[in-house]
Amino acid sequence: MPGTELFGIEEKKEINDVLETGILFRYNHDAQRNNIWKAREFEAEVKKITGAKFAHAVSSGSTAVACSLYAAGVGAGDEVIVPPFTYIASVEAVLFAGALPVFAEIDESLCLSPEGIRAAITPKTKAIMLVHMCGGMAKLDEILKICKEHNLTLIEDAGQAFGASYKGTSVGLFGKTGCYSFDFFKIATCGEGGVMVTNDEQCYKYADSYSDHGHDHVGNNRGMENHPVLGFNYRIGEINAAIGLAQTRKVPYIREKNREYKKLLTTELSKIAGVGFSTLADPAGDSATFLNILLPDTETAKRVVDEFNKAGVGGFNYWFTNMYHFINQWNHLRDLKSAAKLPIHVLGAPQDYNNLNLPKSQETVGRLISFGIRCTWKEEEVKALAHKIGGCIKNALATVPA
């Protein structure tokens, strides 16, 4: 993690294929492109790995979230239940769709909890934006049950969980629509890119048109077809797709190595009293991009972070480090700052974002420390790292706060 660890001749070959044709656009130019269609190949590879019936590549994970909401029919005035712990793109996409985010509690899975979701449902709730955080997965069985009971649309932001699965099905495929990010810090990268997935053909068609100004892409001549819906430009370019294609093929290997090293670290660190880990609804489906340590409390986590910094170990806490993944850092959102009017300026916010009562989320994120797993580590390095991390945690646990 991230996929850039494994850049090699495979990525260069795919990029070169594109450069030799000179066609950087994913549509048209059939005569010049020598049958090189990297965006299509990238989508086929994502379908192969995830088992999705439909996959549509776009310019980023953020625009893939936007496509997911649009294609699932979430829009003006709808309330969407969102987690306070995610990359802010999940919440931005809800607002820019014209919908209203309603924050609910997460739990030790680091994702929205079933109880949190239940407490946030109102008669206006249309959808749940379920974000599978830090390479793992949410409690899908219980959450799907809630969706059924309350007739809610499930959208899965699996931006951080490409390669993860729950009971054998890839995350991203439980909801009406789902999406993955392939930015520079993900298990596989395009540089910038994202993919929206669905098993629903109509959703796929909506996303395909939405991401390209409404073109329906029927026939061979883009520009001369029909426009079933309004859209915008969220297209991916052929070079980005070419990189994503080569990277996606490497995901099974990266995931296997990640799992091996995460297991080694977990085995060693679980010997220390006071060290826990985020929960996984299906441990066998973990993409294992992150080791997520849960300490007894926020104060201890702060001392551990200080010890890590002193020892140059890495690792971060989303509470103390400005990682931009927790609502505490989203002042602009809480204060509803925007250059243009947002739905909350017109319709009113469904919650007071400056006075949210999310104690479980605060407490969980406060005692969380995450480490990115690197598939290029050697076993000896992982053992040495486990020793170093363990030493820091023991020092911090032994320190009695003044």
Ligand X SMILES: Cc1ncc(COP(=O)(O)O)c(C=O)c1O
Site residues (vs ligand X, CB under 6 A): 60-62, 65, 86-87, 89-90, 131, 157, 159-160, 181, 183, 194
Local structure of residue 53 (DSSP, 8 states):
S
Residue 109 near residue 357, CB atoms below 8 Å: no
**Is 186 among the residues known to form the active site?**
yes
CA separation for the pair 185, 6 (Å, rounded): 12
CB of 327 to ligand X, least distance (A): 14
CB of 271 to ligand X, least distance (A): 31
CB of 371 to ligand X, least distance (A): 16
Residues paired with 348 in a beta bridge: none
- Looking at beta carbons, which residue is closest to ligand X? 61
* Residue whose token pair is 């370019």: 237
CA angle 344, 348, 352 (to 5 degrees): 90
Nearer to ligand X, 240 or 300 (CB): 240
CB of 87 to ligand X, least distance (A): 3
Nearer to ligand X, 309 or 330 (CB): 330
Nearer to ligand X, 327 or 396 (CB): 327
CB of 65 to ligand X, least distance (A): 6
CA separation for the pair 349, 47 (Å, rounded): 38
Residue 164 near residue 135, CB atoms below 8 Å: yes
Is 335 strand, coil or helix? coil
CA separation for the pair 173, 46 (Å, rounded): 12
CA separation for the pair 100, 122 (Å, rounded): 12
Catalytic residue of the set 38, 139, 186, 250? 186
CA separation for the pair 301, 225 (Å, rounded): 57
CA separation for the pair 289, 164 (Å, rounded): 10
CB of 2 to ligand X, least distance (A): 11
CA angle 298, 302, 305 (to 5 degrees): 135
Nearest partner of 81 among 138, 162, 166, 165, judged by Cα = 138
Catalytic residues: 186
